[in-house]
Chain A
Amino acid sequence: GAGVSQTPSNKVTEKGKYVELRCDPISGHTALYWYRQSLGQGPEFLIYFQGTGAADDSGLPNDRFFAVRPEGSVSTLKIQRTERGDSAVYLCASSRGGKGETQYFGPGTRLLVL
């Protein structure tokens, strides 16, 4: 079946601009996660959704970052007033249930802030 998809695959923006990154989880998966991966590092947790609600957003670096999942399926990660330090690969994962289920990752969105 179809895996996790993310759009766009690449995004180039200018410092100070607003960006939205989209994640389509595997059909039927109730849990969704966002991670961020900087060059040469492993992915780092940002936020976890169970259904429509953000169960844990402790990994979001500051209040410029926000994510939504209004219908419990597609999620959008929103970054306001982008900074060069936001440049990274943003990864989305989904799992069938919540805690303990295996997470399956999408290909990521490569964000470059100039």
Chain B
Amino acid sequence: DAKTTQPTSMDCAEGRAANLPCNHSTISGNEYVYWYRQIHSQGPQYIIHGLKNNETNEMASLIITEDRKSSTLILPHATLRDTAVYYCIVRVDSGGSNYKLTFGKGTLLTVNP
């Protein structure tokens, strides 16, 4: 699976949008971008994933650049409960050894009051 690069930490004011970047310049054409987050002392929580089109669900939006070498996770109105480590992962969705999720160190997002 392709390697991802994320900033170590970010801060965001409560109520504002949080934009978390991820670089995945070696992504292959059949690899999806997944985002998980991990709130302190909890297991990772699935947020969203996409291939090349932008995606939105009740939690977040995922914007993938046209060349697919980077993406941004957007939390439109961050709350204190969104403080967590956010992981960007790329993974093939069919065939091969694609069941493994390869986590990096992620981005620690701190939402401030």
Residues of B near any A CB (own CB < 8 A): 34, 36, 42-46, 49, 87, 92-106
Contacts and interface: CB of A to CB of B under 8 A. Distances in A.
29 contacts: A4-B43, A31-B99, A33-B99, A33-B101, A40-B105, A42-B87, A42-B103, A43-B44, A44-B103, A45-B100, A45-B101, A48-B99, A48-B100, A55-B99, A59-B100, A91-B43, A95-B99, A99-B95, A99-B98, A99-B99, A100-B92, A100-B93, A100-B98, A102-B49, A103-B101, A104-B46, A105-B44, A105-B45, A105-B46
Given A33-B101, A42-B87, A44-B103, 9 more contacts: A43-B101, A43-B103, A91-B43, A100-B94, A100-B99, A102-B34, A102-B46, A105-B46, A108-B42
A25 interface: no
Contacts, number: 60
Interface of A: 4, 31, 33, 35, 40-45, 48, 55-56, 59, 91, 93, 95, 98-100, 102-108
